[in-house]
Structure 1
């Protein structure tokens, strides 16, 4: 069995289920209070529901083969662990930033350099700058790199935004998605993000290396995720275009190569519903091209310019390539 860890609740759980379902995979739980499930569409796979932080530890130790967690937790807990592999580094959700936030009343503090100066001033008064965070190692290393050398880290695992108002820290370093909770607690963000994070798929070198059965299942999962993530960036266009022949229409469509599909257009004759005489004098051809999302309107305008009629579009569900790039990277890392 391939052991697959996913977040047990919250936005991470909902987004993971949505991603898997978009790939044709469905998590099925016999009871919503159970912490095990099956994954329909991927045989011999057991889904285990855990806290994201626990998933990182269990994958690193080999107790879980693969799992979904945040890059912030991976960076904090196991950034230097060779047994923890980041298989797919951006699943497209759970986007947050690790930031410093200080009381809004600190009008003279707006940057990391200001924090470094403040730490020096506080040290001269016999005090230390207290930073509440659950990302102890990440924040410590970042502070040293930015020249913030005199500080005290106060470990916090909940309601970190309240630490300054409760008096057990001066500032905080915490993750935020919108900054709303920080503002509601009368804090402001200073400097840029210490770390940008999102959901990633991780794997255990210990349990995957040499296990061909598990690797075959991981390849199927990666193929689906990769193709789905890639497919969201493309549209399929179909239009009826008049022309003397397939060759003439093909030359018109490919006059702008960047708008003529991934490899080129697919062109086929249209069986006219009008009279044979009328269709013989003005034949029509169905043209299909797949273009990147940002080229959708230019491609439509190009088809219009060559006489296209009745253009329809569909968002592409999956784009598969000759092989899974993520799986090839995984094999190289295991080797």
Structure 2
């Protein structure tokens, strides 16, 4: 099942009411974050390697295993001799497009990945949604001067410094 929606707002209200512009920003951010996330899975695999960098190098060279901005690699600890924590594996986390999921899992296994976990993603938040910039442009507002949630140079949401 597929649906679509349209966000309708009053230009004058958006320009005169900073709190309304903040609400619209949050809605756009949530909608875009969810729509983007629907296309991806988060994949975590235990990998052997000499260092986190070595594991990252292997993943960055393998087609389809780079993730959105690169893999996240962290130590995996287990109980060693004498009950002390030791690490023998690294957990590599990447984001994979749904259509490429099975191929990515097989590629990880071929590279020695085990205990592969796959989770659906709910949101992927970018620094700022592209649609937000488009809206500000249509309103004639400078994104650098628009204050949403206390960011961007301390100017009010209406872009002119007034609350």
TM-score range, shorter chain: 0.7 to 0.9
Q: TM-score, normalised by structure 2?
A: 0.75
Cα displacement (A) at 1:260: 1.8
RMSD: 2.3
Q: TM-score, normalised by structure 1?
A: 0.38
Q: Indicate the structure with greater strand content.
A: 1
Answering whether residue 58 of structure 2 is matched by residue 252 of structure 1, we say: yes
Cα displacement (A) at 1:234: 1.1
**Which residue number in structure 2 is paired with residue 19 of structure 1?**
none
What is the number of equivalent residue pairs in this alignment? 138
Cα distance between partner residues in 2 of 1:252 and 1:208:
49
Cα distance between partner residues in 2 of 1:226 and 1:300:
27
Cα distance between partner residues in 2 of 1:253 and 1:219:
35
Cα displacement (A) at 1:232: 1.2
Cα displacement (A) at 1:257: 4.8
**Which residue number in structure 2 is paired with residue 317 of structure 1?**
122
Cα distance between partner residues in 1 of 2:53 and 2:20:
48
Cα displacement string for residues 248-293 of structure 1 (whole angstroms, at most 9, x for unaligned residues): 22222112253221111111111123547xx97x921111111221
Cα displacement (A) at 1:247: 2.6
Cα displacement string for residues 149-202 of structure 1 (whole angstroms, at most 9, x for unaligned residues): xxxxxxxxxxxxxxxxxxxxxxxxxxxxxxxxxxxxxxxxxxxxxxxxx43222
**Which residue number in structure 2 is paired with residue 170 of structure 1?**
none
**Which residue number in structure 2 is paired with residue 305 of structure 1?**
110
Counterparts of residues 212-251 of structure 1 (less than 5 Å)? 212-251=18-57
Cα distance between partner residues in 2 of 1:331 and 1:245:
45
Cα distance between partner residues in 2 of 1:246 and 1:329:
39
**Which residue number in structure 2 is paired with residue 273 of structure 1?**
79
**Structure 1 SS opposite 2:90:** strand
Q: Which one has more relative contact order, counting CA pairs under 8 Å at least 6 apart?
A: 2
Cα displacement (A) at 1:209: 2.8
Answering whether residue 9 of structure 2 is matched by residue 199 of structure 1, we say: no
**Structure 2 SS opposite 1:236:** strand
Answering whether residue 125 of structure 2 is matched by residue 289 of structure 1, we say: no
* Structure 1 gap segments, 5+ residues each: 1-14, 16-91, 94-197
Larger radius of gyration: 1
Cα distance between partner residues in 2 of 1:216 and 1:199:
19
**Structure 1 SS opposite 2:16:** coil
Q: Out of 295-304 and 249-258, give the one that drifted further.
A: 249-258
Counterparts of residues 1-335 of structure 1 (less than 5 Å)? 93=3, 198-275=4-81, 283-335=88-140
Contact 1:259 1:295 in 2 (8 A): no
